[in-house]
């Protein structure tokens, strides 16, 4: 999660802290539509599996906590 938080910080140089685990990344505009596909590729590289955009919703990307649960835990590929 540290690397994901660091990616968010590089995209938001005005951010002087790491985003919180439950902070709404979309509401806070820390992940915008222009960077979203790059973010998907980043998650795919960390998880080692593709993300089917037809099987996810925007809510799956709202918080670092949800991202970790949905994409980066061992059971995440089993239809979380």
For the stretch 62-78, pLDDT in tens is 999 999 999 998 766 55
pLDDT above 80: residue 12 = yes
Contact 46, 78 (CB under 8 A): no
- Prediction pTM value: 0.84
What span, in angstroms and rounded, lies between the C-alpha atoms of 38 and 35? Answer: 5
Q: Please name the residue that has the structure tokens 């596909």.
A: 37
Give all domains of the chain, ordered by start, each with its CATH number. 2-77 (1.10.1200.10)
Q: Please name the residue that has the structure tokens 């080692």.
A: 48
Q: Where are the extended beta strands (E) located within 1-80?
A: none
For the stretch 20-69, pLDDT in tens is 999 999 999 999 888 999 999 999 999 999 999 999 999 999 999 999 99
What span, in angstroms and rounded, lies between the C-alpha atoms of 56 and 28? Answer: 20
């Amino acid at each position: 999660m540290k690397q994901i938080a660091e990616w968010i910080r590089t995209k938001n140089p005005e951010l002087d802290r790491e985003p919180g685990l439950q902070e709404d990344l979309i509401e806070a505009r820390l992940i915008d539509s222009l960077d979203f596909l790059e973010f998907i590729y980043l998650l795919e590289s960390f998880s080692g599996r593709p993300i089917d955009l037809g099987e996810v919703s925007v809510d799956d990307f709202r918080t670092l906590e949800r991202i970790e649960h949905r994409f980066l835990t061992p059971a995440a590929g089993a239809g979380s």
